Amino acid sequence: MNDNFTDEEKKGFYKAIYSRRDVRSHFTSEPISDNTLTKILHAAHHAPSVGFSQPWNFVLIKDNNTKKIIKESFQIEHRHASELVDEKRKSDYLSFKLEGIMESPINICVTYDPTKFGPFVIGRTSIPEAGMYSVCCAIQNLWLAARTEGIGLGWVSILSNDVLKRQLGLPEHVIPVAYLCLGHVSNFETKPDLERAGWLPRLELKDVVYYEKWEQKEDSNWKKIEQLIKTNLDTLK
Amino acid sequence: MNDNFTDEEKKGFYKAIYSRRDVRSHFTSEPISDNTLTKILHAAHHAPSVGFSQPWNFVLIKDNNTKKIIKESFQIEHRHASELVDEKRKSDYLSFKLEGIMESPINICVTYDPTKFGPFVIGRTSIPEAGMYSVCCAIQNLWLAARTEGIGLGWVSILSNDVLKRQLGLPEHVIPVAYLCLGHVSNFETKPDLERAGWLPRLELKDVVYYEKWEQKEDSNWKKIEQLIKTNLDTLK
């Protein structure tokens, strides 16, 4: 494998980054092939991990009984959440489709096991959360690989982890990090659902970049990039 | 942008996934161009985020004084960590290069701000950690984009977050998630450093996949994929 990326290879990579969506609708009945699902899991397993601890597991789910129990948990948690929304935004909130548990053929629970390879993990001694961060990197690999294979993926975080742990038989020390719904879709939206609906705006890159210190938006050593970040970035896609 | 990926586009994407490394050596003196750094940050900013909250910030660092202070923090934490390693593995542990803070031209601290867009975030009501998970997805986007642009990246998690917060002036509620070191490199290793050194083995995919329930390695509904996952997966790369 040559170290450098050709323009074509870069194009493929950035297409995955910019066309990936959080998918809750448009699932079709076409099953995910075993070959495709294996490729996606393989990409996830090649994420970075602190101290090479590979602390993730992937529980593959298509059992309808499990899906129903998770869907019920979503409904309870979703109702609780709706009580927290401002009154004037509540009808908008309730109009959003926030999960595709039953419609997607395959659900995957991605878990974090902090005991894998024993208590000492290189790089996890000062910041124990680093193990959890590795699992999230694997989830992002999985998500991007799914997009590349034409598979829609939705992350459902409105559910009770206690219900999930009980249903999947997770040991006490294992943490469910993500509950993902995967399937072929009729199309991918060009923008995130909540951006299209006007719920929140896309921040500009200049709003999230600081120089040397928190909230420092200017610095004499970073003049050129400041200008670039402020100008039209979509040409870089 | 056509929805489907061509074989060429897939090839570019998977090359990023499989050739990405955690880099601590081989940094060269070639500066990162502003255009390249902007592309990498732009890819990071297009990560998924719970409720479209985009809760990340990127503090760009090239100030040598900051780098020195972080390096000193690494040295202190690294010494503490070495006291936790088994006696017989200690010399191996001490031989590993675990950071490239001073050698890399640019360091980036990626932070999580749970207050962005106010207290109510869709999808963060049942699992508050979901905000942090979004930041990790942005870090993985950043890492993969860096690799695509030929930039090496090393994540340093052996340091004190208190020192880091003080040095960068982070407010109390903002959490530093990652401290990253970026630069051009003379080459990328073909395997992770800790795998090459024999510190820990690469797990097989079959070791991290379960069916329907925790630790369930067989299930009548998953027979075909079980076989595929057990066989030669490197052909899928």
Tokens of A174: 């294992």
One DSSP character per residue, A26-69 reads: -B-SPPPPHHHHHHHHHHHHTS--GGG---EEEEEE--HHHHHH
pLDDT per position as a tens digit, A154-203: 999 999 999 999 999 999 999 999 999 999 999 999 999 999 999 999 99
Diameter over CA atoms, chain A: 60
> Do the chains contact at A48 and B200, CB–CB below 8 Å?
no
Chain B interface includes A115 (CB < 8 A): no
Read off the DSSP letter of residue A187.
Answer: -
pLDDT digits (tens, 9 = 90+) for A73-128: 999 999 999 999 999 999 999 999 999 999 999 999 999 999 999 999 999 999 99
Q: Is A217 helix (H, G, I), strand (E, B) or coil?
A: coil
Contact A110/A177 with Cβ under 8 angstroms? yes
Total beta-carbon pairs less than 8 A apart between chain A and chain B = 342
How close B1 gets to chain A, by Cα (Å)?
A: 8
Of the candidates A59, A32, A16, the residue with the CA atom closest to the CA atom of residue A179: A59
- A236 within 8 A of B46, measured Cβ to Cβ: no
Mean predicted confidence (pLDDT) in B109-115: 98
Cβ distance B48 to A20 under 8 Å? yes
Residue with tokens 């803070």: B101
Global confidence as pTM: 0.97
Q: What are the angstrom distances between the C-alpha of A118 and each of A13, A114, B84, B86?
A: 35, 8, 12, 11
Contact check, Cβ <8 Å, A54/B202: yes
pLDDT digits (tens, 9 = 90+) for B18-61: 999 999 999 999 999 999 999 999 999 999 999 999 999 999 99
Q: Residue A72 carries which side chain, given as an amino acid letter?
A: E
Going by pLDDT thresholds of 50, 70 and 90, the confidence category of residue A205 is very high
Question: Could you report the predicted ipTM of this complex, rounded to two decimals?
Answer: 0.97
B34 with A225: CB under 8 angstroms?
A: yes
Whether B236 sits inside 8 A of A9 (CB atoms) is: no
Task: Judge: B158–A123 Cβ closer than 8 Å, yes or no.
Answer: yes
CA distance B186 to B150: 10
Residue type, A210: Y
Backbone angles phi, psi at B65, to 5 degrees: -65, -45
Contacts with A1 from chain B: Cβ below 8 Å = 15, 18-19, 190
Residues of A in contact with B54 (CB under 8 A): 200, 202-203, 208
Task: Confirm or reject contact between B128 and chain A (CB < 8 A).
Answer: no
Q: Which of B156, B154, B160 is nearest to B142 (CA)?
A: B154
Q: Which amino acid is at A166?
A: R
Chain A positions in Cβ-Cβ contact with residue B59 (cut-off 8 Å): 210-214
Cα separation, A212 vs B168, whole angstroms: 7
Distance CA A26, CA A188 (A): 8
Residues facing residue A154 across a β-bridge: A181
Pairing of strands B106-112, B56-61: antiparallel
Tell me if chain B has a CB within 8 Å of the CB of A235.
Answer: no
Q: Which residues are registered as beta bridge partners of A27?
A: A185
Give percent of chain A above pLDDT 90: 95
Q: Which of A97, A1, A3, A108 lies closest to A45 in space, CA to CA?
A: A108
Q: What angle do CA B194, B198, B201 make, to 5 degrees?
A: 80
CB B7, CB A194: distance < 8 Å: no
Residue A3 binned pLDDT confidence (cut-offs 50, 70, 90): confident
